[in-house]
Structure 1
Amino acid sequence: MTELDRARALLAEHPVVDGHNDLPWALREQVGYDLDRRDIAQDQSEYLHTDLARLRAGGVGAQFWSVYVSTSLQGDRAVTATLEQIDCVRALLARYPGELRAARTADEVEAARADGRIASLMGAEGGHSINCSLGALRALYELGVRYLTLTHNDNVPWADSATDTPVAGGLTRFGVEVVREMNRLGMLVDLSHVSADTMRDAIRATRAPVIFSHSSSRAVCDHPRNVPDDVLASLPANGGVAMATFVPKFVLPEAVDWTIAADENMRAHGFDALDTTPEGMRVQREYEAAHPRPVATAATVADHLDHMREVAGIDHVGIGGDYDGTAFVPDGLADVAGYPNLIAELLRRGWSDADIAKLTWRNAVRVLRDAESVAGELRRTESHSVATLEQLDG
């Protein structure tokens, strides 16, 4: 049996819980949520990284669908757009009940897998989605959102982003209150996209395990979106999981400068750097043809996972591909069908079957269950917070 055959067999038993997929935003940008025009029951490889057949081929058993909205949307517009993203996920679940099933708890994730469905959870990407309102945070939880990434690419008034100029120096007092209310709800604190100081503050403040839904190792690729070793080393005490991402500019050092130039080219042509519409991708491909792109591979991602396992331990690593949220992907990981290639690479490096089972399934499900347990205890002793940004940080 080849390593690829072994990988597929392992994924049949221990499928991937992927921490981050931006299909809902791609559907918004490309077709205005018209699911007839992007029917993922059909081959959508011309437009998307994701469709149902490729999810099955990739061995995906549970997916956190990102209900991301751009930071160009602020205030009530950001909240409304987040609700529209949630509505898109619900529409997908209603349209494909034989393949996808809503999951809000670890037990529901396990039950969906047992019934042969892909468990579908949601994660909100960026604190701007709650508009500094703990009431909005609670409403997102009631609608099924099970993690909040504290920032996206820009700061929020209560937390610093990895890719913005620091203002708060990490979390403000209100930011700590957001984390603690998330603990009380059972909503995972996602530290992808946040500054290193925000990571450290959040881990000190939280009473439940954290996740990094799509971040790799800063020691392997020195990009601010990645996780420093001291933060990785703190995960065993916290119980959290860092889910390695596949985005080339976050995993391949040679791709960092190239991507900065490619992003500038996109803006010069009137596109957001994250635009993955056919028109935006045409501009990207033309730039790539004139300026050959440094190419990451499955081995590049495996380098990150090797290091993350060494520093944090096998119980604290996972996978968050960021499919349909990136213009470029590594060779061998071209879409959601590619996970077996990564698992085969890890098997070649000596990862055991038990290691793979933790990486793909067990760690993520455990963290979700642990957060639920913490929330159960806190709800017995604490009422919901009525704090406001003005009260704590004004």
Structure 2
Amino acid sequence: MAGLSLRTGFVFFLLFTFHAALGFPAALGGEETVQKKERSERPPVVVTGAARRLHAECLVFDGHNDLPWSMKIKAGSSFDVADIATLQERFHTDIPRLNEGGMGAVFWSAYVPSEKGKVGVAARDVLEQIDLIHRMVRRYPETFELARTADDVVRIRKSGKIASLIGLEGGHAIENSLGLLRMYAQLGVRYMTLAHSETLDWVDSATDEARHGGLTSFGEEVVLAMNELGMLVDVSHVSADAMRAALRVSRAPVIASHSSAFAIAPHPRNVPDDVLEMFKENRGVVMVNFYSAYVVAESARARARMFEVERELEQKYPDRDEFKKAWDDWHETNPIVSGTVHDLIDHIDHIVRVAGIDCVGLGSDFDGVPMTPDQLDDVSCFPVITQALLDRGYTPRNIRKIMGENTLRVLREAEQVAGTEREK
């Protein structure tokens, strides 16, 4: 699109990325996310009975699922249009496949695009997404129950239901208001991703121009207010400097709800090693993202270069049609490599080496990404991860930590910090 700014172009791409799996056209008329290049030098994982038995013992806890946004875009937020009690091939997520995957707890994402961050608009749209999550829990009470605490998660899972928590994706939703932040907490929000695709007045995004060196003083206030509320600070989507600042300021464990290891796949959405070391000191958790572009090294490099390419093509081709053709041609020659479950386990291995076994979890980003590694097609896939971890030599105890116990721990520790803050 002629004259498309770098920031706007990225937002446009992000919107396409979120919607591509749902049948929306590419933002610039291309099909870049469906240029899937296979890579299968490692054999597929075969799930054994022993792995399934171990999996059944795990609290399987997904740190980030975008079904609420998919429901809004594809089904008009109506469970009559898309009854997730039955198989819904338009989504990565429905109740039959959640059960097949042995899901025990999920952070459902309350997300709206960051360009909605205008006064009165972002809050309204986010409240509608929070309402959708509450309606989903009420619509399917035999499957879901809203969880606000770590004890809730344990109790709900023991009852055979899926503990449903709310994660707010993007600090634009608070519209620079700590009052709004506190109200979201009252509605059950248990973490907030500090930014999304755009740098805000108080925090730098990983995929936009940095203006603050990480966090402003108000950004630090937001982090401390979240500590007081028992709301987890989520540094996915923020710049590396913002990650470092949040980890320095926070009095509670910090999470990256859907990010992977930068050393394995060098994309700005991933976490660099020095930040992983800070996670170790903070006792936080990095929840590995399943998006192929954040998992496979060559795909990450291509996507990271995309921003520079866009700017170059804007300057070279002021005509929209010429720009579109050049853009499509670039994506044809820079396809996303889908990768395999082994690539995902490589990220887990690396995070364990740098930060320790207590600092890694899973944040699939299902229903928010257009492509995932082979054998990680939807929410039914989690037993494959258990088997792959066994194949790498992880002990049952450590597999239970990765699958969900680490995420449960940080939730509990954030609550304990909040209790301490209230006593001051």
Return the TM-score normalized by structure 1: 0.88
Partner of 1:147: helix, strand, or coil?
Answer: strand
Change (3 A) 1:22 1:160: same
Return the letter of the residue paired with 1:150: L
Give the corresponding residue for 1:65.
Answer: 108
Give the length in aligned residue pairs.
Answer: 361
Query: CA separation in 2, counterparts of 1:315 and 1:254?
Result: 28
Partner of 2:300: helix, strand, or coil?
Answer: helix
Query: CA separation in 2, counterparts of 1:226 and 1:304?
Result: 10
Partner of 1:337: helix, strand, or coil?
Answer: helix
Is residue 247 of structure 2 the alignment partner of residue 203 of structure 1?
A: yes
Partner of 1:66: helix, strand, or coil?
Answer: strand
Give the corresponding residue for 1:277.
Answer: none
Give the corresponding residue for 1:299.
Answer: 342
Give the corresponding residue for 1:248.
Answer: 292
How far the C-alpha of 1:301 sits from its partner, in A, is 0.3
Change (3 A) 1:264 1:92: farther
Is residue 219 of structure 2 the alignment partner of residue 171 of structure 1?
A: no
Superposed CA deviations along residues 140-188 of structure 1, whole A, max 9, x for unmatched, are 0000000000000111100001111110010000000000000001000
Return the letter of the residue paired with 1:83: L
Query: CA separation in 2, counterparts of 1:23 and 1:188?
Result: 20
How far the C-alpha of 1:321 sits from its partner, in A, is 0.3
Change (3 A) 1:209 1:260: closer
Change (3 A) 1:186 1:13: same
Change (3 A) 1:93 1:264: farther
How far the C-alpha of 1:37 sits from its partner, in A, is 1.1
Query: CA separation in 1, counterparts of 2:262 and 2:50?
Result: 30
How far the C-alpha of 1:4 sits from its partner, in A, is 3.4
Give the corresponding residue for 1:11.
Answer: 55
Is residue 75 of structure 2 the alignment partner of residue 31 of structure 1?
A: yes
User: More deviation in 306-315 or 230-239?
Assistant: 230-239
Query: CA separation in 2, counterparts of 1:115 and 1:163?
Result: 41
Taking every aligned residue pair, what percent have the same amino acid on both sides?
49
Return the letter of the residue paired with 2:91: L
Return the TM-score normalized by structure 2: 0.82
How far the C-alpha of 1:337 sits from its partner, in A, is 0.5
* Contact 1:170–1:199 under 8 Å retained in 2: yes
Is residue 174 of structure 2 the alignment partner of residue 130 of structure 1?
A: yes
Could you tell me which of 154, 161, 164 is aligned with 2:198? Answer: 154
Could you tell me which of 185, 190, 197 is aligned with 2:229? Answer: 185
1:14-93 residue pairs with structure 2 within 5 A? 14-45=58-89, 47-74=90-117, 75-93=119-137
* Contact 1:179–1:205 under 8 Å retained in 2: yes
How far the C-alpha of 1:7 sits from its partner, in A, is 2.7
How far the C-alpha of 1:261 sits from its partner, in A, is 9.2
How far the C-alpha of 1:233 sits from its partner, in A, is 1.1
Could you tell me which of 269, 272, 275 is aligned with 1:228? Answer: 272
Partner of 2:228: helix, strand, or coil?
Answer: helix
Is residue 353 of structure 2 the alignment partner of residue 331 of structure 1?
A: no
Superposed CA deviations along residues 69-104 of structure 1, whole A, max 9, x for unmatched, are 101211210000100000000110011000001000
Give the corresponding residue for 1:370.
Answer: 413
Change (3 A) 1:165 1:16: same
Give the corresponding residue for 2:327.
Answer: none
Change (3 A) 1:29 1:380: same
Return the letter of the residue paired with 2:134: R
Stretches of structure 2 lacking an aligned partner (at least 5 in a row): 1-45, 310-329
Superposed CA deviations along residues 269-327 of structure 1, whole A, max 9, x for unmatched, are xxxxxxxxxxxxxxxxxx99998642211001000000001111001110000000001
Change (3 A) 1:23 1:205: same
How far the C-alpha of 1:54 sits from its partner, in A, is 0.5
Superposed CA deviations along residues 92-133 of structure 1, whole A, max 9, x for unmatched, are 001100000100000000000010000000000111010000
Return the letter of the residue paired with 2:110: V
Query: CA separation in 1, counterparts of 2:108 and 2:284?
Result: 19
* Contact 1:258–1:294 under 8 Å retained in 2: no
Superposed CA deviations along residues 181-226 of structure 1, whole A, max 9, x for unmatched, are 0000100000101101001111110000001100000001111100
Query: CA separation in 1, counterparts of 2:341 and 2:349?
Result: 12
Change (3 A) 1:297 1:263: farther
Return the letter of the residue paired with 2:410: V
Query: CA separation in 2, counterparts of 1:86 and 1:197?
Result: 29
Change (3 A) 1:174 1:288: closer
Give the corresponding residue for 1:109.
Answer: 153
Change (3 A) 1:171 1:264: closer
Give the corresponding residue for 1:142.
Answer: 186
Partner of 1:250: helix, strand, or coil?
Answer: helix
Query: CA separation in 1, counterparts of 2:108 and 2:210?
Result: 29
Query: CA separation in 1, counterparts of 2:400 and 2:271?
Result: 23
* Contact 2:293–2:337 under 8 Å retained in 1: no
Change (3 A) 1:97 1:263: farther
Superposed CA deviations along residues 247-282 of structure 1, whole A, max 9, x for unmatched, are 1111112223555799999xxxxxxxxxxxxxxxxx
* Aligned CA-pair RMSD: 2.2
Return the letter of the residue paired with 2:421: L
Stretches of structure 1 lacking an aligned partner (at least 5 in a row): 266-286, 382-394
Give the corresponding residue for 1:280.
Answer: none
* Contact 1:124–1:149 under 8 Å retained in 2: yes
Superposed CA deviations along residues 17-71 of structure 1, whole A, max 9, x for unmatched, are 11000000111111211111111001002x0000001111112100000001101
